Amino acid sequence: MVSFLTRDLSPRDVRRIRTAVRRNDGEVVADHIRNMIVWGELRSGERLVPEEIAEELGISRIPVREGIIALEREGWVAVEPRRGSFVRGIDRRTARDHYVLLGAVQGFVAVRATQRAQDADVRMLAEHVRLIGDAGCVHDTTDVYDSFTAVLRAAARSVRADRLLRVLPEYASADTFDDREEVMRIQRHGVRAVVAGVEARNTAQAAAAAREVHRELGACVERFLTSRGIFAREPGDTESRPPVRWHGAFGRRSRASRLAPVDSGAERAVHHVREQIIRGELAPRQRLDRESIADAIGVSRTPMREAVVALEREGWITVEPHRGAFVNAFDADYVRDHYEIFAIIFGLATTLTYRRGGDPAVERLLAFQPALRAASDPDSFERVNAEILDLIIETADSPPLIGALRAMPEIVPDFFRQVPGAMQAQGQGFDEVCTALRDGDTDQVETAWWSLMSGVADRVVDFLDRRDQGAARVSAAGSRG
C-alpha cells in the first residue's frame, strides 16, 4: 500500500489533514492526494481505497470519499464500476491544457476586475506592484503573487469564476521550481502588466497579461515535472487513458452523461436541490434542510453529505461553518459570467478539436449543420446539439476541460424548451463557429463561441427575470387573498 504520509509534511499540514473530519472538509483530502499525484508519490493506475487512506491519515472515511469524488470530477481520478477509483496521473499534454485553461479563466477574472474594480480595489492592486518589487526571494514573491491573485479575484466579484478556480489548482507551488529567478521575473512582470491593464480599464491588456503569466508558469511546471519523471505518458506513447466522463452543459444531456450513472443517492439529491432552486422553491439565502431533503427522496446522510459537497462546488450553495448550507443568489452578473466561462471552455475545446482531430473532425462537425437547421422541435434540436458537443469534447480529449465542464451547473434544465429563442441563438452561433472552422481561424472560433454564449446569457437573464416577476405576482395575489 502507498503511504499517504510519505512527504515531509509540516506539523501544520498534518494537523490540517487530521482536522478534516471535524471540519467535514473533503477538499483538504483532495488537495493532499492531488499533491501526491503531482509529486509522483501516486502513479497512474494505482488504486485508491478510502478505508486504507482514512486509516493512515487518522480520519473518517467520509471526507476521504468526498475528496475522491472531487478528484474524479476534476479528472485526476478514474472511477471504474465494481473495481474502484484509480489515479489517472498527469501527462505532458494534460499539463499544457491545464495551464492554457487556467490562463484563460484568470484572463476572464482580469477582465471582470477591470470592469468591476472600485477605487479601493485598484489601490490595493497597485500596492502589490510595490510589494512584489521589494520582495527579495522566490518565497516572498510567491507569497505576494498569491495575495495579488486573491485581491484580483475579489475585485472581479465573480462567484462563478471563483467556484471554477477551486477545481483548477496550480500543479505545484511556484517557490518549489528549479528555475527560481525565472519564476520571480514572471511573477513580477505579470503583476505589473495586469495592474497596468486594470488601472487603464483596458480589458484586452489585462486579459492578455494574465494569460501570458500562466503560459510562462505552465512552461516552468512542465520543466519541473519533466525533471522529476512525473509525467505518466510521453509524446508517442500509445497506451490508452481511461476516459473522463462529462455531464453535458447548459441544459443539454450528452451521450456521455447518459452513459454515466445518475441513480446514486447523491446524484438524486443534487438533482432534487437544483430543481428546487431553479423553480424558486428554495429562495436565495435560505438554509438547506438536509434531513427533510434526505427524507423526501429516500436517501441516507452519507449521500446527502456528498450531494452538499457537489452542490457547493457547482456554486448552487455556500457552506458556512457551524451554521449550515445556504442557497446562493443568481443575479444577472452570475448568469453572464456563467455563460461567458462556457464560451471560454468550448472555444478552447473546439480549437483543440481542430488541432487534434484535423480535417476529419472538422468535416464531421460541419456535417451537423443541416441537421441542426432542420431540427424544428426542442427534443430533436437537443439531440443533435448534444452530438455536436460530444464530438467536440471527445476529440479535444482534454481532462482539464472536462473537469471544468463537470464543475459547471445547469442553470436552466430542459433549456431549449423553456428559454424562448434558445434554439435560434444556438443554431446561428454554431453557424458562426463552422464558418471559422472552414477558414481555419481558431481565434475567430473562440470569438464565435463568445458571441453565441453572450446571446444565450441575454435570453436566460430575460427568462429568469420573467419567472421571478411571475412568482412575485403570484405571491402578492396570495397575500391579498
Question: Residues near 414 by Cβ (< 8 Å), separated by ≥ 6?
Answer: 251, 378
User: What residues form DSSP beta bridges with 128?
Assistant: none
> What one-letter code names the amino acid at 131?
L
Q: Which residues are registered as beta bridge partners of 79?
A: 85
Dist. CA 410–CA 211, nearest whole Å: 27
In Å, what is the CA distance from 150 to each residue of 106, 122, 136? Answer: 11, 13, 21
- Residues with Cβ within 8 Å of residue 295, at least 6 apart in sequence: none
- Take residue 46 and report the three cell numbers written for it: 494505482
* Whether the domain at 261-327 and the domain at 332-468 fall into the same CATH topology: no
Q: Whole-angstrom Cα distance, residue 47 to residue 2? A: 9
Residue with cell 498569491: 146
Q: How many CA atoms lie within 13 A of 334 on its CB side?
A: 16
Domain range 92-227, its CATH number among 1.10.3720.10, 3.10.20.30, 3.40.50.10140, 1.20.120.530: 1.20.120.530
| Per-residue pLDDT, 368 | 95
- Cα(first)–Cα(last) distance of the chain, in Å? 67
Q: Where are the alpha helices (DSSP H) in 26-91?
A: 26-38, 50-57, 61-74
Please state, in angstroms and rounded to a whole number, the distance separating the CA atoms of residues 420 and 427: 13
Q: Where are the domains of the chain?
A: 11-87, 92-227, 261-327, 332-468
Residues 296, 176: Cα–Cα separation, whole Å:
49
CB 452 within 8 A of CB 423: no
How many C-beta neighbours within 10 Å does residue 215 have?
15
Dihedral of CA 368/105/247/240: which sign?
positive
Q: Which three cell numbers stand for residue 330?
A: 443568481
Task: Specify the 3-state DSSP secondary structure of 432.
Answer: helix
Residue 141 amino acid letter: T
> What three-state secondary structure class fits 235?
coil
Q: Estimate to the nearest angstrom the gap between the alpha carbon of 42 and the chain centroid.
A: 23
Classify 11-87 by CATH class.
Answer: mainly alpha
Strands 84-87 and 47-48 turn out to be antiparallel
Amino acid letter for position 417: R
Q: Residue 217: which of 98, 65, 125 has the closest Cα? A: 98
Classified as helix, coil or strand, 331 is: coil
Of the candidates 432, 450, 423, which has an alpha carbon nearest to the alpha carbon of residue 348?
450
Query: Which residues lie below 8 Å from residue 25, measured CB to CB, with a gap of 6+?
Result: 63, 66
CB proximity list for 185: less than 8 A, separation 6 or greater: none
> Which CATH code fits 332-468?
1.20.120.530
DSSP per residue over 141-193, as a string? Answer: HHHHHHHHHHHHHHHHT-HHHHHHHTTS--SS-GGGSS-HHHHHHHHHHHHHH
**CA–CA gap between residue 396 and residue 243 (Å, rounded):** 12
| Choices 2.40.50.140, 1.10.275.10, 1.10.10.10, 3.30.200.20: CATH for 261-327 | 1.10.10.10
Per-residue confidence (pLDDT) for residue 235, from 0 to 100: 43
Residue 60: all three cell numbers together? 473518517
Task: Identify the DSSP state of 202.
Answer: -
pLDDT tens digit at each of 481 positions of the chain: 444 544 455 555 545 444 444 444 677 788 788 878 877 788 888 899 888 888 877 788 888 888 888 787 767 788 888 888 998 877 888 889 999 999 999 999 999 999 999 999 999 999 999 999 999 898 899 999 999 999 999 999 998 898 888 778 777 777 677 788 999 999 999 999 999 999 999 999 999 999 999 999 999 988 888 887 777 654 444 444 444 443 344 334 443 333 333 457 888 888 888 888 877 788 888 999 999 899 988 888 888 888 888 888 777 888 888 889 998 877 889 899 999 999 999 999 999 999 999 999 999 999 999 999 999 899 999 999 999 999 999 999 998 898 888 778 777 777 898 899 999 999 999 999 999 999 999 999 999 999 999 999 999 999 888 876 654 443 444 444 4
